[in-house]
């Protein structure tokens, strides 16, 4: 009996570390409509206690930060787009 190599939502949170570029799809709920929104950014902080991430992107010369809880049911999908070769030793990046 073979086990499928499917990575579930809880195993993916261990791959995400500070210093990686992440693509996130999440459900955005407004007053009358529900839609799926996308966000691409650099993970600048990972909080182990609350299992949350802070993702930063620069849009039109302004920084946009997004706080994501990894176990939230509103997250549809997230992928790691780029891993930098230089290892980041801290859980929070101050220099990028």
Here the tokens at position 50 are 């609350």
Write down how long the chain is.
96
Question: Which residue, among 79, 63, 64, has the nearest Cα to 26 in the 3D structure?
Answer: 79
Q: If you average pLDDT over residues 34-42, what whole number do you get?
A: 92
CA–CA separation, 21 vs 16, rounded Å? 9
Show the DSSP H helices in 5-74 as ranges: 9-12
pLDDT in tens, 42-89: 888 888 778 888 999 888 888 889 898 888 899 998 888 887 766 656
pLDDT at 7 over 90: no
Taken in order of first residue, the domains within the chain and their CATH numbers are 13-83 (2.30.30.790)
For the question of whether the overall pTM of this predicted structure is more than 0.75, the answer is no
């Amino acid at each position: 009996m073979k086990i499928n190599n499917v990575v579930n939502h809880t195993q993916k949170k261990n791959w995400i570390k500070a210093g990686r570029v992440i693509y996130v799809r999440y459900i955005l709920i407004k007053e009358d409509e529900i839609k799926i929104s996308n966000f691409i950014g650099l993970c600048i902080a990972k909080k182990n206690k609350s299992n949350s991430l802070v993702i930063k992107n620069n849009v039109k010369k302004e920084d946009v930060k997004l706080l994501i809880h990894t176990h939230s049911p509103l997250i549809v999908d997230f992928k790691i787009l780029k891993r930098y070769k230089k290892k980041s030793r801290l859980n929070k990046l101050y220099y990028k």
